């Protein structure tokens, strides 16, 4: 009797998923490294930042980038590099939370709209049409201005809600389109014929099959949420001083001293651009990786 030993080729057929992803999507690996660096800086900003982002040093006003201050200082003598590191936490918390809330609510409405159809579908889609009539930043601007008159939490919470609302209809449309294809599947008809409740069919049979578009939209809208937060903070309707935020760093004194201290604009603008680029690229790569239509 001989024992069958596993061949090297059999082991090679199950490579590590991370290595496989990096090999198939090198740009996705680059974007993931950028995102990981942002997350690491945001989580451990107290350890990574060289200075206190709120510390004012009148002896170091508008100091150019140097070995002591890598990104220079602002008009209050605060270290811009430290404020960029702490600003990554603000951007990621607001960006991820608002994208998660908006994408989750949009996915729930999209699945419910596709499953029930009829009048419910018509009413939900008409509300989505109204919300889609406004650009994301314009609707967020209106919502955050309206919420300032009604105290429902801190400024950050108002900002998160204002950014999440415009995301809902955009995710709902995409998820509804995917859920419409799932609704006509035989296993959904079999579950309905077996007498399962609507909630069981939605959460056990339909929702798991729209996870891929949900994750893609969630990742993509983190970039849009970061950009919206920076825009609202720049306009004075988002994060307020002295909190470190990238959009807030571009307003106020940065606009007044852009000739004498251009680094006050260049570094926050580069941070916003890099973050939006990384999340947009990662969302595109995630779509190609999860969607079977893009697999060769």
Residue with tokens 């859920």: 179
- Confidence at residue 107, expressed as pLDDT on a 0 to 100 scale: 93
Residue 14 lies in a domain: no
Both tokens of 252, joined, read 């106020």
Mean pLDDT (the chain, rounded): 83
What's the total number of domains in the chain? Answer: 1
Residue 10 lies in a domain: no
- Confidence at residue 4, expressed as pLDDT on a 0 to 100 scale: 46
Q: Which domain holds residue 260?
A: 26-51+76-294
Both tokens of 38, joined, read 């942002």
CATH number at residue 165: 1.10.3720.10
Residue 122 lies in a domain: yes
Under the phi-then-psi rule, with left for phi > 0, alpha for psi from -120 to 50, and beta for the rest, what region is 153? left
Q: Is the pLDDT of residue 114 over 50?
A: yes
pLDDT tens string 48-63: 999 998 888 888 888 8
Query: What are the start-end ranges of the H helices in the chain?
Result: 8-12, 17-24, 26-43, 45-48, 80-116, 118-132, 136-147, 155-183, 186-193, 198-201, 211-234, 246-250, 253-256, 263-290
Residue 199 lies in a domain: yes
Residue 58 lies in a domain: no
pLDDT confidence of 151, banded at 50, 70, 90? low
The Cα 227–Cα 221 span in angstroms is 10
Q: Is the pLDDT of residue 98 over 80?
A: yes
Q: Is the pLDDT of residue 95 over 80?
A: yes
Residue 221 lies in a domain: yes
Q: Is the pLDDT of residue 3 over 50?
A: no
Q: Is the pLDDT of residue 94 over 80?
A: yes
pLDDT tens string 184-226: 888 888 888 887 788 888 888 888 888 888 988 998 899 999 9
The answer to which of 72-76, 132-136, 283-287 has the lowest mean pLDDT is 283-287
pTM as predicted? 0.84
pLDDT tens string 5-23: 444 444 444 456 667 767 7
Mean pLDDT of the region 150-175: 82
Residue 279 lies in a domain: yes
Within 13 Å, how many C-alpha atoms sit on residue 207's CB side?
14
Residue 2 lies in a domain: no
């Amino acid at each position: 009797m001989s024992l069958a030993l596993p061949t090297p080729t059999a082991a090679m057929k199950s490579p590590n998923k991370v290595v496989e992803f990096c090999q198939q999507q090198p740009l996705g690996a680059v974007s993931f490294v950028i995102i990981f660096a942002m997350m690491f800086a945001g989580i451990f900003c107290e350890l990574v930042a060289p200075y206190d982002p709120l510390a004012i040093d009148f002896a170091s006003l508008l100091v150019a980038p140097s070995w002591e201050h890598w990104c220079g200082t602002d008009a209050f003598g605060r270290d811009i590099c430290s404020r960029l590191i702490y600003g990554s936490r603000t951007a990621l918390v607001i960006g991820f939370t608002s994208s998660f809330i908006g994408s989750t609510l949009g996915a729930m409405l999209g699945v419910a709209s596709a499953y029930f159809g009829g009048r419910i579908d018509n009413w939900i889609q008409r509300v989505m049409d109204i919300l889609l009539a406004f650009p994301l930043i314009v609707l967020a601007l209106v919502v955050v201005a309206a919420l300032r008159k009604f105290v429902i939490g801190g400024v950050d919470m108002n900002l998160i809600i204002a950014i999440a609302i415009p995301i809902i209809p955009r995710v709902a449309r995409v998820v509804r389109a995917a859920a419409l294809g799932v609704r006509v599947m035989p296993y959904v008809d079999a579950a309905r014929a077996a007498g399962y409740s609507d909630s069981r069919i939605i959460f056990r049979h339909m929702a798991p099959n729209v996870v891929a578009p949900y994750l893609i939209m969630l990742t993509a809208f983190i970039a849009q949420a970061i950009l919206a937060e920076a825009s609202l903070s720049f306009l004075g309707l988002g994060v307020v001083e002295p909190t470190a935020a990238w959009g807030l760093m571009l307003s106020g004194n940065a606009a007044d001293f852009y000739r004498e201290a251009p680094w006050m604009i260049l570094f926050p603008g580069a941070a916003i651009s890099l973050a939006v680029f990384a999340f947009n690229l990662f969302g595109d790569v995630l779509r190609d990786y999860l969607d079977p239509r893009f697999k060769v």
